[in-house]
Chains A and B, each alone.
Chain A
Amino acid sequence: MELNAHIPDGPIQQKWEKHQFDSKLVNPANKRKYRIIMVGSGLAGGAGAASLAELGYNVDCFCYQDSPRRAHSIAAQGGINAAKNYRNDGDSVFRLFYDTVKGGDFRAREANVYRLAEVSNNIIDQSVANGVPFAREYGGLLDNRSFGGAQVSRTFYARGQTGQQLLIGAYQALERQVGLGTVKMYNRHEMLELIMVDGIAKGIVTRDMVTGAIESHIADAVILSTGGYGNVFYLSTNAMGCNGTAVWRAYKKGAAFGNPCFTQIHPTCIPVTGDHQSKLTLMSESLRNDGRVWVPKKKEDCKRVPAEIKEDDRDYYLERKYPSFGNLAPRDISSRAAKQVCDEGRGVGETGLGVYLDFSDAIRRLGKNKIEEKYGNLFEMYERITDENPYETPMRIYPAVHYTMGGLWVDYNLMSTIPGLFVAGEANFSDHGANRLGASALMQGLADGYFVLPATVSNYLAGLKPGVRPAADHPAVVETETAVKTRVEKLLSIKGSKSPTHFHRELGKIMWEYCGMARNEAGLKKALELIPKLREEFWKDVRVVGENESLNQSLEMAARVADFLELGELMCLDALQRRESCGGHFREEFQTEDGEALRDDENFCHTAVWEYKGEGQTPVRHIESLTFEYVHLATRSYK
């Protein structure tokens, strides 16, 4: 497999502009002769579908939800970064680029990250124009807050609902195109396979989740904006429906997978209460602007009421270990620090897997009203779930799976190793390296959707003859559709004894135990034995009740779990082979004396790019070497 990232020549500051100029254009009269498939309707998918339709292309957009407005981007709370420097605090495009490369622990591609920082400002302009009601100051100008991993205030926000507001902005632009007839929206449709004709992506096979109809859709280009695969862990902050099926199906058709093991564990989530738990709820990282994280110094204090524990007996461990960033240390570092203190037996709450996030100082300093204004909805949500009032007693938080930096490998144009298959947003691997900084996911989703895809997809389409697409009865189309039908029938015919959820939960336990916050060789090898066994059991013993021809959530779940059972294995394989610690990937064998991640730039300054080799075959690990010309490789320190 040949990997060419197609990074434009020239100084990093000019690459994107030059590339746009060098890209081929499609004549306006020809644009309507092309058809583009967009899978997913979140920030990347919704904004991308709308923007491509605005250019004049026909777009078919698919989502598994009942409306594109429900995509999981909606749940992002804290904010979106941009290098506006409205605060006059020394921010710039270069600094946002620098922080993102460093935050990603030097495992991202410089050219992509620079472009992300470069278009960040346009995103804010675009969103405001679409009516996103960002927080403002009394003078009418936009407000900012700070986020982890940065020493400037560059995060724009809409209360604790920034993702919701940005998504609704993109959704409204999308619906406008639906009204104009340029986008055809397919709600409650799930992509189950990619159609390839002569090695090029030409369409998808979907299942209508209401009628069960399995249908092929043909297009000139296919874009996957299907989000991350964090639900491989069963418990995560992802929505229940988030899944890896689209990217996994594409992988098995030849799209290489970049850094599958890079997973982000978010430090501030509400701790697990019991086996019935179906998902984990995030408490925005923005809370760490005013909340102080601590645990008792002494184990015997852990079960006491926090108010009774004297100031001297509290260990504000983030402030102690990382004095310059303190409670705003990046996510990977904060999560690991929480795990360490809990492993030492100093965790709080009934399970001992929790740390305090305490607002009493901030409430004393700023007053309860100010805190309510900033975080009111988050405090309310916390109280609803835990039945505890965070204005009076500290929150209890614990890390949880939140985001996957890994994803399908893409070049500078966001095209995968399959020609005609583009991948945007969390679904690709491109911009965050080994750790994503807070408020950067929304930025990347919208950058890809509003600005990158319209340019790069046009460039691709310009090389195709307009209006020439495979016929619906092309053998490759028929064959793909038949394979999907066979697979669905197979799932329904097993009639075993255990539900899809049972297998999902078991897989999640394996992944969290051996491929979670800390990984080691023995554990990963164990997982690589357990997962194939579980998968075998699944295909013998899963019970999917009901039929294909109606709404059937257990059938949907079974198909997704089947793919997670393969994806999880690739994650463990990747984690095993990356014999270093970087960002969210912490290998216990590779750490400094004080427990920090120990990178190995000599041997691992690259992206691991996995190529599928067929059922039962070990995939092949290729590498894309990373060079750092502008941000020099250095040990990442937040001390």
Chain B
Amino acid sequence: MSHKSMNLTLHVWRQKNAKCDGKFVEYKADGVSPDMSFLEMLDVVNEGLIAKGEEPVEFDHDCREGICGTCSMVINGRPHGPKERTTTCQLHMRSFKDGDSITLEPWRAEAFPVVRDLVVDRSAFDRIIAVGGFITAPAGSPQDANSLPISKENADLSMDAASCIGCGACVAACPNASAMLFVSAKISHLGLLPQGQPERYLRVRDMIAQMDAEAFGTCTNHGECETACPKGIKMENIARMNRDFIKASLTFRHATIGGGGA
């Protein structure tokens, strides 16, 4: 551990709300310890602003251990900053050096409107899950958990996809602001499990339809999403989703009209 403190210059996007225009504002961050997390550095800057009677920089954050997916900022042009497979809250100041200039922006995507400063509205992701990102299994109905063996390989692949924290870095990194990595991670998580089979094709159709309705762009294979993803979600999920989507489109039938029982 090094104890040399650093002096940094921040260029932070300030925007009062979705309707106002925003602009970059420069702040000094002096005496920064390399052991601080990035967000702790911002805490110190904010405490300084409050002491001067200025409004602090608003940013989203919660668990600060890289799992809740709340923190979201573009640091020097990269979602979650320079370190691979690391959320902003897990980034430490030892990744920077004395005298550095750091630019901070919110996620930029039409589907993620700015709420204030570095905070954006990601509820589009919830709406995509709400149309099909689930398995219908009301509480109380299931059978014994071990009555359905699942190969370790599939369980592990499903778990890899399920590790997605829904932060939206994939969208922020994509030149088209596509949500395909996020959506495909859910398609893989549930589609690789036997429990997920009954709704597999319905799910992919409905989720993709909602994704399009939310104004996310399409995938043109840049691969920026995979690079930016703090949880290492792979683009092979997008390939799996596309396969399922083609099959779903070819085999789609309109629901038959049901009738009441006796």
Contact = CB atoms under 8 A, between A and B. Distances in A.
A130 B152 contact: no
Interface in B126-140: 126, 129-140
B230 to A, nearest CB: 11
Nearest to B196: A131
A602 interface: no
Contact of A175 (B49, B133, B137, B162): B133
A185 B126 contact: yes
A133 interface: yes
Interface in B118-170: 119, 121-123, 125-126, 129-146, 148-152, 155-156, 158-159, 162-163, 165-166
Nearest to B50: A499
Contacts of A131: 134-135, 158, 162, 189-190, 193, 195-196
A165 B159 CA distance: 9
A175 B58 CA distance: 27
Contacts of B189: 131, 133
A129 interface: yes
A176 B134 contact: yes
Interface stretch (B29-37, B96-104, B248-256): B29-37
A86 B146 contact: yes
A66 B115 CA distance: 11
A281 B55 contact: no
A543 B46 CA distance: 13
A28 interface: no
Given A128-B148, A240-B64, A550 B47 contact: no
Interface string A353-387: 00000000000000000000000000011001111
B229 interface: no
Interface in A64-111: 65-70, 72, 74-75, 84, 86
Given A129-B195, A179-B130, A545-B54, A72 B62 contact: yes
Given A141-B146, A550-B16, 12 more contacts: A68-B126, A75-B65, A125-B143, A125-B145, A130-B134, A133-B158, A136-B152, A276-B36, A381-B90, A384-B86, A450-B140, A550-B17
Interface in B63-102: 63-70, 83, 85-86, 90, 92, 94
Interface stretch (A30-38, A46-54, A310-318, A624-632): A46-54
B262 interface: no
Contacts of B219: none
21 contacts: A67-B122, A72-B62, A74-B68, A126-B137, A129-B135, A131-B134, A131-B189, A133-B155, A133-B158, A136-B149, A142-B145, A179-B132, A187-B126, A276-B36, A387-B1, A499-B50, A501-B47, A543-B53, A545-B50, A551-B17, A551-B115
Interface stretch (A156-164, A214-222, A294-302): A156-164
Interface stretch (A166-174, A248-256, A412-420, A422-430): A166-174
Nearest to B144: A125
Contact of B68 (A75, A129, A142, A185): A75
B44 interface: yes
B62 A70 contact: yes
Interface string A241-284: 10000000000000000000000000000000110111101100
Given A70-B62, A131-B189, A450-B139, A273 B35 contact: yes
B11 interface: no
A546 B54 CA distance: 8
A502 B44 CA distance: 11
A134 interface: yes
A554 interface: yes
Residue of B33, B40, B65, B66 most packed against chain A (CB within 10 A): B65
Given A131-B190, A175-B133, A276-B36, A74 B195 contact: no
A122 B143 CA distance: 9
A140 B152 CA distance: 6
B71 to A, nearest CB: 10
A240 B44 contact: no
B159 A158 contact: yes
A384 B87 CA distance: 11
Interface of B: 1, 16-17, 33, 35-37, 39-41, 43-44, 47, 49-51, 53-56, 58, 60-70, 83, 85-86, 90, 92, 94, 115-116, 119, 121-123, 125-126, 129-146, 148-152, 155-156, 158-159, 162-163, 165-166, 189-190, 193, 195-196
A175 to B, nearest CB: 4
Contacts of A454: 139-140
Contacts of A450: 139-140
A86 B40 CA distance: 44
A152 interface: no
B54 A276 contact: no
Contact of B166 (A69, A125, A179, A241): A69
Nearest to B166: A69
Nearest to A73: B68
A433 to B, nearest CB: 27
B150 A278 contact: no
Contacts of A122: 140, 142
A165 B62 contact: no
A21 interface: no
B95 to A, nearest CB: 10
Contacts of A278: 37, 39-40, 43, 64
Shortest beta-carbon contacts, A-B, top 10 = A140-B149, A129-B142, A179-B130, A172-B134, A129-B137, A133-B159, A128-B145, A51-B139, A175-B130, A125-B142
A158 B141 CA distance: 22
Contact of A124 (B115, B145, B152): B145
Contacts of B36: 274, 276
B165 to A, nearest CB: 8
B255 to A, nearest CB: 15
Residue of B44, B145, B146 most packed against chain A (CB within 10 A): B145
A66 B122 contact: yes
A92 to B, nearest CB: 16
Given A175-B126, A274-B35, A450-B139, A384 B134 contact: no
B142 A128 contact: yes
A553 interface: yes
A139 interface: yes
B145 A276 contact: no
A281 B145 contact: no
Contacts of B190: 131
Interface in A552-592: 552-554
Contact of B55 (A133, A136, A381, A545): A545
A173 B132 CA distance: 10
Contacts of B158: 131, 133
A84 B69 CA distance: 32
Contacts of B123: 66-67, 187
A388 to B, nearest CB: 8
Contact of B149 (A47, A130, A139): A139
Given A124-B145, A141-B149, A239 B62 contact: yes
B162 A165 contact: yes
A545 B121 CA distance: 23
Contact of A172 (B49, B56, B61, B135): B135
